[in-house]
Every structure is written in C-alpha cells, then in structure tokens.
Structure 1
Amino acid sequence: MRHTLPLTPQFYVTAPQPCPYLEGRMERKLFTALQGDNAAQLNDSLSAQGFRRSQNVLYRPSCTDCAACLSARIDISAFKPSKSQKRTMRRNRDLLRRATSPWATEDQYDLFRRYLDSRHAEGGMADMDVFEFAAMIEETPIRSRVIEYIEPDTRDLVGVCLTDVLADGVSMVYSFYSPDHPQAGLGNHIILDHIEIARAAGLPYVYLGYWVPGSQKMGYKAKFSGLEVYIGGAWQKLADPLSFEPDNHPLSTDPIAEQVANIALPDMARKNL
C-alpha cells in the first residue's frame, strides 16, 4: 500500500503535563508535523504566528486555563544594547564563532551534559542521551545551522546554538554553554551575537522562543530592548516587562477548533486545498 503525506497540515494536541515554568499549572501544546516539500514555507509562516520547531514538529502552547507563555522576538532595528550587554560583548569579543551544518559531535554533547547538570538537572531534558541529542541537532527538514563558540587560546568549545534560518530572521532553537565561567555571560553573548548574525544577513528579527512573565527562568529575555511578544494573533512591542502579569484566566485560551481555524497557512499549502 502506498502512503502519501496529507495535502494540508494536520494539527493535534498533547496530553496535559506539569508546566515547567509556573508552579501548579498544567501545560498543553498544539502541534503539527513539519514535513514535505513545503516544510520551509510552513516553518516561516507558523514561526511568525508564535510556533516553535522541535526536530520535525512545530508546536505552540495551548493550555486550557492559561495563556502566560508568549512567543518572543527581537526587532533588530529597535535594539540598543544596555551597559551590561556592552560589557558582555567586550568580555567575549575574542571568542571564535564557527557555523556548521546540523551535525552532532562528542564535544557538543559533553558541553550539553555539563550545562544541563549545572543549570537544569531537574528539567525535562536531564535524561537525554547521546542519541536523543543527535536527533535534536540533526533532524531538521529546513535550513538550520549549528553556531559554535570557541575559546581562542585553549580551543575549547564554550557555547553552542542550534539555529534555524527563516525568511524574516534567525530562530534560536536551543542554546547551551559552559557553566565554568558564570561571569562571562555566555548565554547573553550568544543572543547578542545572533543579533549581529541576523543584521549581517539583512534579516529583521531574532526569535528567542517563549517569554513567560512571572518565570525566573525566562526573565533574561525581557532585558533585551526591541523585544516583541505575540499576543492575540499579532506581534506587540513589550514596553514594560514589570507591568506584565501572567494571563491565567480560564477563558484566556480559545477552543482548539477556533485556534486551528485562525492559523494562516502559507500560499503553497492553500494551493493544495
């Protein structure tokens, strides 16, 4: 029997599980497969609507009684580094940047394990083995790169970011870095360097993933000027992060059928309808 891919994306919902960001909350995701000849167009379109990529899946939070998770991106034209961010750039100015194809290495996995053990030992990725790590890096149907940061004297790998190249920006899918130099601000440096990467490529945005007001894990994203968040079907400038409260109202999330109906599919997908 010959099987063919569906002509249009099919959307599904995950089972509820404990939220990793807000205590006492349950998390649920709306997701679809990223596959076929139109994968790049679908990724571009849905990324602009608050979705994120994980391997061959695009997902967006769709919790039943909470809408706190907000997709975030930096508008490069509105970004101005703070004094602290300028110091971070100076501290790390000698780091070497190397862009490679999405291929996992032992050095990357060793750094990944040290990063998790130091910062996220209780997180959902804590038990990820080398094969799952390789899948995270290598299973991509779109244009992706691994950006590595190398200490020039020792040639040690100190930072890595799996990065997707979108039509309107770069998306930082997942980054990790050495826990041995906490004063270096390597995590912030990787974001600042991606702003430079996008600017040099003539791309207007750096997609950061989700910002969650009230979550200490996500607080660092609000420190970047030019930040926009996706709310109510549109991108809005984040003026004052401290004035934002997590949206935990039980009616804050539309029913799944309405959410799917309001997703704008790329033209290539619509031609197949």
Structure 2
Amino acid sequence: MISVPLWLTAEHDCSYLEHKLARSAVVHPDFPLDTLLYSRLIEQGFRRSGDQVYRPYCDDCRACVPSRIPVTAFKANRKQRRCLKRNQHTQVVIKTAEYNERHFDLYRRYQIARHEKTTDDAISREDYLHFLGSNWCDTWFVEFLIEGRLAAVAVVDALDHALSAVYTFFDPEFNDYSPGVFAVLWQIEEARRRKLEFVYLGFWIEDCRKMRYKNQYQPLQGLIADQWQNIHFQQTHEE
C-alpha cells in the first residue's frame, strides 16, 4: 500500500453553504501522481482540480458527499429520456486535453452567463487550463456539436474502472437541449460501452441547489462514513 502525504488547508468560507467554514486534505504537491493512483484515491472520496487532489476535511460538517453512478444499474427517468431524444442528432467528438481557442471562448461566455462573471473579470488562458487540465491524468475534452455548432464541452477523466465528470460548460443558446444533462448521460453510456463500472460526479450536497441535482441520476451512490451506499430521494411527478 502506497502512503500518500497529505496536508491540511487553512479554514476558509465555504463555497457551497453560507455561514460555514471549510478546509481540505490535499495531496502534497511534490508527490507524484498518475491516473492509476488517482483511480484509487477517487474511490476514497478524493477529487481533482487541476493537478491538485483533495478531499473535504471540515471539523463539524459532513455535507459534501462523494458521489458516483453504477452505470449498469442506471435507468434514465422521463426527463432524461426526453433529453436523449432531443439530442439524438448531437455529434460527440472526444479530443485530447489541449488548449483550444473555441473551447476557451465558450468557457468565458458560459462563466459570464451562468456564474455572474462580467467582461471585466479576467479569465486567463492559464487559469482555465490550471482549473480543468492536468499534467498527469488521462483527460478528455469532449465536444458536443449541434447542427455543426459547438454547443458544449465536457471535461472528463478516464480512469481504470470509471469515468470522472470534471466540469461541463455550454452555450446558453442551447439551453433547450439540456446540454449539462446530456453530457452526464453520454458519459454513462460511454462508460458502459467501455465496460467501466462507474461515473463519478463529484460532491453531492443536499442543502446546496447547484450540487443537489446529482440525485436525479439513480441509483446514485455516496461515500458515507467511508462506505459507498445508495442515496435515495423522493421523486416528483416531473421526473
């Protein structure tokens, strides 16, 4: 068993829950990582942001639950089946994780439209690659093309037993196609095709709207008390 050195960050305001402090256990930046080792760490609840691998390590909060979809058991609900039908002609192209000006332009427009960024906010090429890319992980930039136009890009890590959904950004003009949902559904089907076990979705946070959506993909497993177990939720008539 490899011993992985960790260090704790200082406490800071939580990005997801108001009036909460957060900190993380981070793999030491000098420790050499590769896709195989990260495949083991993600099973233990770790997550990648750029080259940094971390896990929440908050003193009095366990709201961040690592989540994954067992792909052979997944069943699309009615809304997801409608999304698949709308995207039946969407073209998907897997590309290597290299800088692409079209991707970067889409990323900037997405941040302005969906995350209250302004044109005055400096979103640099370096920040973009530092957030999404990695020097050691097998990462894809997956293009979704609608009528020949770039509608979305999903950043996906290919692990030894799973795919990991890192981030998806899309053109707001294609909102009616639900590109974020379709990107997850495509990853589930691609994992099945490659005979992989899971799609990792990052942290599910019940009390955070932008992180709660993950329980729409069922069955969803969460790492709770160091055990992977199903996360259940009450479906509505809209599902």
The more displaced of 112-121 and 221-230 is 112-121
The alpha-carbon deviation at position 34 of structure 1 amounts to 6.6
Match of 1:53 among 48, 51, 57: 48
Amino acid at match of 2:154: C
Instruction: State whether residues 75 and 206 of structure 1, in contact with CA within 8 Å, keep that contact through their aligned partners in structure 2.
Output: yes
- Does residue 130 of the first structure (1) align with residue 125 of the second (2)? yes
Q: Does 1:197 align with 2:212?
A: no
Equivalent of residue 207 in structure 1, options 200, 206, 213: 200
Structure 1 residues 169 and 49, CA, compared in 2 at 3 Å: closer, same or farther?
A: same
CA deviations 1:196-242 (Å, max 9, x no partner) are 11000000100001100111111211111110001111111112268
TM-score with structure 2 setting the length: 0.90
Deviation at 1:171, TM superposition (A): 0.3
Q: Which has the higher strand share?
A: 2
Identity among equivalent positions (%) equals: 30
Q: 1:227 to 1:106 in 2, by over 3 A?
A: same
Among 178, 181, 184, the alignment partner of 2:171 is: 178
Question: Shift of residue 48 of structure 1?
Answer: 0.3
In structure 1, C-alpha distance between the alignment counterparts of 2:157 and 2:164, rounded to whole Å? 5
Identify the residue that residue 106 of structure 2 maps to in structure 1.
Answer: 111
Distance 1:85 1:241, change over 3 A: same
Normalization by structure 1: what TM-score? 0.79
1:149 aligns with 2:151: no
Mapped partners of 1:240, 1:137: distance in 2: 30
**Does residue 237 of the first structure (1) align with residue 230 of the second (2)?**
yes
- Provide the rounded CA distance (Å) in 1 between the counterparts of 2:234 and 2:98: 37
Contact 1:34–1:42 under 8 Å retained in 2: no
Q: Which moved more, 1:132-141 or 1:101-110?
A: 132-141
Quick check: 2:69–2:199 contact (8 Å CA) kept in 1? yes
Measure, in 1, the Cα distance between the counterparts of 2:234 and 2:111: 27
In terms of mean alpha carbon deviation, does 99-108 or 14-23 score higher? 14-23
* Match 1:158 to one of 151, 155, 178: 151
1:34/1:46 CA distance change after superposition, 3 Å: farther
Is residue 69 of structure 1 aligned with residue 64 of structure 2? yes
Q: 1:118 to 1:174 in 2, by over 3 A?
A: same
Alignment deviations for residues 155-211 of structure 1 (CA, whole Å, 9 cap, x no partner): 221111111111221001111111122222111000000001100000010000110
SS class of match (1:181): helix
SS at the partner of 1:47? Answer: helix
Which residue identity is paired with 1:24?
Answer: H
Of 39, 43, 49 in structure 2, the residue corresponding to residue 44 of structure 1 is: 39
Amino acid at match of 2:199: V
In 2, Cα distance between equivalents of 1:209 and 1:187: 14
Q: Structure 1's 34 and 88: CA in aligned 2 closer, same or farther, altered over 3 A?
A: farther
How many residues get paired?
232
Change (3 A) 1:18 1:99: same
Query: C-alpha distance in 2, partners of 1:156/1:127?
Result: 26
| Superposed displacement of residue 73, structure 1 | 0.5
1:226 partnered with 2:222: no
Q: Report SS of the residue matched to 1:191.
A: helix
Q: Tell me, what secondary structure is at the counterpart of 2:199? A: strand
CA distance in 1 between partners of 2:73 and 2:96 (Å): 30
**Which has the larger displacement, 34-43 or 232-241?**
34-43
Gap runs ≥5 in structure 2: none
**2:174 counterpart of 1:140:** no
